[in-house]
Amino acid sequence: MKYQGRLRGMRRLACGALIAVLAVGMLQVARAQAVSAPPAARSEVGHATTAWLDLQRSNSQAAPEQPMLGEEAGLAYRRYMDSFKSKIPELYGSALSQGSGGGQSGGMSGQPPQN
């Protein structure tokens, strides 16, 4: 029994020492970061993101258009047309089923579209 009590005490001591060492290490890392990294200016934050968005918007690096082969085009068009056969689940709702007219064009109901 005395041995188990000593073992528990040694474990507690080891855990306490480990926690202390980790805490000191974290403080040193925090100090090093605070000293070595000056705060970034507002204009520098997001520069890379802005550059990527500009590149996408300009479309200057886009690959050339490639034609779709007849068989693949036919299959894609068939899937597109088949998508209209499925009803929209009630979970998503529909402007037609709600009767609000929000999704209807003016020619369907005789009323102007609502925005």
Model-level pTM? 0.28
Q: Over range 68-92, report the average pLDDT.
A: 90
Q: How far is CA 46 from CA 24, 36, 40, 59, in A?
A: 33, 21, 10, 20
Whole-angstrom distance, CA of residue 43 vs CA of residue 36 = 20
| The predicted structure's pLDDT at residue 7 | 57
Let me know: does 113 contact 106? Beta carbons within 8 Å: yes
Cα dihedral 47, 53, 57, 62 sign = positive
Query: Which tens digit of pLDDT belongs to each residue from 21-70?
Result: 777 777 777 676 656 656 666 666 688 888 989 999 998 988 888 888 89
